[in-house]
């Protein structure tokens, strides 16, 4: 354990500062497809009884109309966020009729591309630009990729912790700048070590054959309808999932917030020839916001992002420029099909300890060579993470995944112990032991368990996924909300519908004017270009 980590843990272990560990916020965004009882993608519009996707704070859609996204309020204890997520699921099931939620990250057998509906957000200018953005994604990457689901884990520390560290370490700079750069340091460490998360929690070693739509691949055949890799942990996070050649090298390893924002702002303005050939309109209809490498900043497929809550109509990079980093969003977590919510409290406790370790551990400045090495470790783990004696590379030297993983856990254990000391109990220590067991025995990993379950269903990914989705659907339907909670969500739905209607009725100007103004804010108004 580094001297810096030791010093910071000792500082935060004092009676004056330890309570700050419970003041950060946690939130979860869970994506899940709506499917029918046969496991086919829903062709129905988002149920109006769930509320308006544009304005509902907890129930919306992601890229496809059938891809629900559940968003928990931010909570100081992740267990409370998971309880809220459970209630969102139970309310949704009260409105889904015969439909159910797909329990996997990789999608069900999909219809033709033309029959996958893009998410719709109404006729307001803001709603339309969200829809046009998704039209652009469909043109650029295809609609099938827009049906992949994941778990996003939002994490922040108390702002007071950063101030405590600044005073103790006598670091110059404003509180906002120091907080932002500490989150960037966290992200650098996350990039170095996130392969570990894919080994421990990856849960997508297989997919339905039809998902690839004839694309070339190096997968093996498990059955007539299923492709897989025998040692894969997360095909979702491989080059078969959320990857895009146009984004290669887009945001190089960065050492401060300014470098990150500058890279993104350039990409949002840099023309891309293939997208220029398409144009922004086809037969007078907007089909993408622009013809640049990125339409908007969120199109960049990162495993983790620095974030700031944005105001209505504000661009993410504008918020970061104006107010700095507020939290990080971890985006590489698969949906675990054995967890009703896609993630459980044990996993979440480890994520908290892992992210706190990344925040407190020494984080040297990075460079392109290290970025290439980290990306290679991540890519190898998602495709071959359970291969016996698999070697990764650390500072140019080969090291076994198992040995490096166990060494990292030893560094994280004191962090987990501090969290247990403040919260009481041993939940963090227990989660650490579970993860250690997985490193010692790969058969305990979710990816191995999923593969075993698929093999038990005649090697069919679809057969297993349909069985598991039906099982979880029955469990949720057997636990309806009480009258008070049901009324709360009914009210949220009605308010969201009214808010969207008001937005549509009160807006001024044309969509052409709105999108022109929106696009203009990618130039001189981006603070990092000044």
Query: 462-474: per-residue pLDDT in tens?
Result: 999 999 999 999 9
Report which of 147, 151, 73 is spatially closest to residue 116, judged by C-alpha positions: 147
We report the CATH number of the domain holding residue 519 as: 3.30.590.20
Query: Quick check: 422 and 18 in contact, CB under 8 A?
Result: yes
Query: 319-368: per-residue pLDDT in tens?
Result: 898 899 999 999 999 999 999 999 999 999 999 999 999 999 999 999 99
Global pTM? 0.96
Domain count of the fold of the chain = 1
Lowest pLDDT segment from 68-72, 299-303, 487-491: 299-303
Write the DSSP symbol of residue 435: H
pLDDT confidence of 529, banded at 50, 70, 90? very low
Lowest pLDDT segment from 19-33, 251-265, 365-379: 251-265
Compute the distance between CA of residue 25 and CA of residue 50 in angstroms, rounded to an integer: 26
Strand boundaries in 297-430, DSSP class E: 304-307, 327-333, 391-394, 397-400
Compute the distance between CA of residue 11 and CA of residue 20 in angstroms, rounded to an integer: 11
Domain of 366?
3-529
Please tell me the predicted confidence (pLDDT) of residue 246: 58
Write the DSSP symbol of residue 234: B
With 80 as the cut, is the pLDDT of residue 431 above it? yes
């Amino acid at each position: 354990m580094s001297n810096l980590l030791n010093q910071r843990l000792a500082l935060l272990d004092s009676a004056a500062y330890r309570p700050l560990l419970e003041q950060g916020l946690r939130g979860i965004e869970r994506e899940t497809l709506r499917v029918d009882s046969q496991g086919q993608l829903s062709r129905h519009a988002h149920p109006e009884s769930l509320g308006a996707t544009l304005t509902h704070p907890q129930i919306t859609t992601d890229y496809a109309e059938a891809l629900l996204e559940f968003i928990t309020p931010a909570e100081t204890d992740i267990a409370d966020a998971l309880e809220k997520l459970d209630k969102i699921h139970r309310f949704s099931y009260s409105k889904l009729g015969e439909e159910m939620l797909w329990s996997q990250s990789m999608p069900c057998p999909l219809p033709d591309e033309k029959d996958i509906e893009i998410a719709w957000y109404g006729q307001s200018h803001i709603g339309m630009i969200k829809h046009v953005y998704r039209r652009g994604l469909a043109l650029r990457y295809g609609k099938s990729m827009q049906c992949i689901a994941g778990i996003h884990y939002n994490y922040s520390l108390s702002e007071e912790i950063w101030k405590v560290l600044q005073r103790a370490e006598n670091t110059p700079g404003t509180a906002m700048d120091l907080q932002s750069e500490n989150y960037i340091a966290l992200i650098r460490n996350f990039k170095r070590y996130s392969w570990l998360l894919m080994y421990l929690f990856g849960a997508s070693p297989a997919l339905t054959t039809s998902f690839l739509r004839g694309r070339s691949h190096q997968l093996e055949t498990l059955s007539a309808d299923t492709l897989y890799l025998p040692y894969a942990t997360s095909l979702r996070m491989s080059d078969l999932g959320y990857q895009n050649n146009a984004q290669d090298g887009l945001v190089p390893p960065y050492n401060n917030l300014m470098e990150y924002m500058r890279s993104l702002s350039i990409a949002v303005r840099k023309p891309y020839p293939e997208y220029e050939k398409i144009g922004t309109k086809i037969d007078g209809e907007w089909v993408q916001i622009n013809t640049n490498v990125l339409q908007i900043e969120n199109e960049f497929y990162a495993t983790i992002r620095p974030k700031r809550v944005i105001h209505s109509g504000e661009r993410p990079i504008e918020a970061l420029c104006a107010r700095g980093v507020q939290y990080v969003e971890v985006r590489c977590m698969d949906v675990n099909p054995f967890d009703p919510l896609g993630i459980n409290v044990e996993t979440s406790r480890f994520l908290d300890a892992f992210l706190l370790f990344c925040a407190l551990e020494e984080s040297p400045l990075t460079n392109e060579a290290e970025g290439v090495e980290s990306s290679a470790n991540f890519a190898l783990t998602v495709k071959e993470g359970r291969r016996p004696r698999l070697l990764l590379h650390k500072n140019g030297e080969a090291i076994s995944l198992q040995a490096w993983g166990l060494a990292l856990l030893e560094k994280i254990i004191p962090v987990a112990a501090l969290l247990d000391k403040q919260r009481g109990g041993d939940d963090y220590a227990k989660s650490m032991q579970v993860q250690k067991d997985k490193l010692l025995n790969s058969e305990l990993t979710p990816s191995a368990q999923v593969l075993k379950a698929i093999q038990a269903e005649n090697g069919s990914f679809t057969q297993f996924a349909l069985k598991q989705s039906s099982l979880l659907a029955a469990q949720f339907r057997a636990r309806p909300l009480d009258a008070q909670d049901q009324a709360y969500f009914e009210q949220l739905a009605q308010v969201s519908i009214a808010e969207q209607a008001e937005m549509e009725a009160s807006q001024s100007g044309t969509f052409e004017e709105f999108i022109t103004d929106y696009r203009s804010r990618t130039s001189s108004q981006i603070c990092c270009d000044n």
